[in-house]
Structure 1
Amino acid sequence: MPAAFELTHVSVERSGKALLDDVSWTVGEGERWVVLGPNGAGKTTLLQVIGAMLHPTKGTVEILGDTLGQVAVAELRTRIGHTSTKVADRIPPAESVRDAVLSAAHAVTGRWHEEYDEEDLARAEQILGEWGVSALAGRTFGTLSEGERKRVLIARALMTDPELLLLDEPGAGLDLGAREDLLASLEMLSRADDSPVLVMVSHHVEEIPVGFTHVLLMRDGKVVAQGPLETTLTADNLGVTFGQRIALDRAGGRYAARRAAYGRRADRSHQTGDTA
């Protein structure tokens, strides 16, 4: 299976600090990855590298068949969808939802003097419908709830039919209902035959959609473990990643994690069969 992207011994250093430290990672076509780790682990920096937004200090990066540093990144970025708070912050609050999605065709935030054809307009309406936000098309971006914003941002990222979709903490700030609605939509996207390669950053195993296939665990800019979700997402690997003992449960393809019990509490839980 050809690689969607490949990082080889990649490091990113800023002001003497290693944000990424000797990261090697290969993602194949058809794979859906979640990147887990605590704050400061290097997750967002990693997405910036594979999104062709940041060049490494060391190592090589191949994205969609092109080598970073040897390709026009502006053209490469049109093949990559990216959602993050930084993208949201660049969209003018007075921009309509329809235009916030449509303007992705020109890789801009905020309509100006660009021209759009009927195909662009039809694609925007299609993607708004697919993500259940058609009713919001005439609303301004600044009036949306956090859950509505997240769905609009993903619709915008899919506007250009990208080959690679990067989701930076799409569940952050959502209440339980909005999070579950988003995860249901991401599950459908992950199972679609024409879906792009997906990479999602999160802090929480509870936010991993059913249908995702692989996991990368990070701490202090380094890879703790990587591989198929079912064999790599373990309590031991999570413990190393987050620096404490973790109990991990799985039901219906979804995961839940909590701090493992200690001492007498652990003994009492074992004796009573309590897993709460």
Structure 2
Amino acid sequence: MTEIQEPRAVVVALTDVAVHRRTTGQEVILDGITWTVRSGEHWALLGANGAGKSTLLRLAGAVMYPTAGTVEVLGDRLGRVDMRELRARVGLVSAAQKVPLDATAHTIVLTGATGTVQPLWRKYDAATRERAHVLLAELGCKELADRRFGDCSGGQRARILICRALMADPSLLLLDEPFNALDLPSREDLVDALHRLAADRAGLATVTVTHHVEELPPSTTHAFLLKEGRELASGPVDGVLTQDNMTVCFGRPIRVSRHDGRWYARSGR
């Protein structure tokens, strides 16, 4: 007898969303976006520069409101909920995040428990401090606990910031170009860390903004291609990251292949 699986919970739901630039009210950043992310799904968000990827991620992270349409994050609709409280339930990792470079990796992770830049020492009990150590070990950074964040490599910093985002035990983790400026070994360390994270946390949903399919871990389940603010294709990853879709998305012939669960792309010219 076939076991019937329960439908996964909806984590993010955008319905007919549009975003216009505020200064003019005319320039369209996003238009007609309908998108659903469910628990346990791992999405890749790709598109050329200016396609609207960062704006879409800001909507999913409850950082901004749409010009039109509805956005629901973790069951709450933007405009009907305290955005600060909602953001506290979403994990966000971005190279642009401001954290004290002279603080240790363990301290940086601790600040994720309070959602602050500087540590609030009185807020961190023994269990919270131990949780920070556990997360560093989970992401392969145990030996970095006492190292200054500023002395860590780009790949190490990315993994430490993921630990920080996980301190609040979010159901949704948003990764805004986490591979930016990483060398090859650092990129592979981060790919491995994200793959393990997906395996260890069955209910966690992730959305990763990237320019390169080579940066996607094998655990990627879905992909969303944006072109000039509109959806070009979205859904299960194998049906989206095709040669035809990527060629249209980036405006030049692109060959896509997959080996050992990883994707590779190169221009056909």
- State the TM-score, normalizing by the size of structure 1: 0.90
Q: Is the 8 A contact 2:39 2:203 kept in 1?
A: no
The alignment partner of 2:96 has SS state of: helix
One-letter amino acid of the structure 2 residue matched with residue 56 of structure 1 = P
2:67 is the alignment partner of 1:57? yes
2:133 is the alignment partner of 1:141? no
Q: Distance in 2 between matches of 1:153 and 1:13?
A: 31
Q: How many residues align?
A: 259
2:19 corresponds, among 3, 12, 18, to 12
Cα distance change on mapping 1:232 and 1:45 into 2, 3 Å: same
Q: Distance in 1 between matches of 2:120 and 2:213?
A: 40
**How far did 1:193 drift?**
4.1
Cα distance change on mapping 1:246 and 1:145 into 2, 3 Å: same
**How far did 1:194 drift?**
3.7
1:189 corresponds, among 174, 197, 217, to 197
1:255 corresponds, among 251, 263, 266, to 263
Q: Distance in 2 between matches of 1:92 and 1:220?
A: 36
Q: Distance in 2 between matches of 1:114 and 1:72?
A: 25
**How far did 1:86 drift?**
2.2
Structure 2: runs of 5 or more not aligned: 1-6
The alignment partner of 1:19 has SS state of: strand
Q: Distance in 2 between matches of 1:37 and 1:83?
A: 19
Q: Distance in 2 between matches of 1:238 and 1:158?
A: 32
After the TM superposition, list the runs of 4 or more consecutive aligned residues in structure 1 that deviate by more than 6 angstroms. none
Q: Distance in 2 between matches of 1:116 and 1:191?
A: 28
**How far did 1:49 drift?**
0.7
- State the TM-score, normalizing by the size of structure 2: 0.92
After superposition, the C-alpha distances for 1:189-234 in whole angstroms (9 at most, x for unaligned) are 1222445101111001111110111000011111111011111211
Q: Is the 8 A contact 1:189 1:195 kept in 2?
A: no
Correspondence for 1:162 = 170
After superposition, the C-alpha distances for 1:23-72 in whole angstroms (9 at most, x for unaligned) are 11011122110001111111111111110111111110011111011011
* Two-structure CA RMSD over aligned residues (Å): 1.3
Q: Distance in 1 between matches of 2:150 and 2:180?
A: 18
Structure whose alpha-carbon radius of gyration is higher: 1
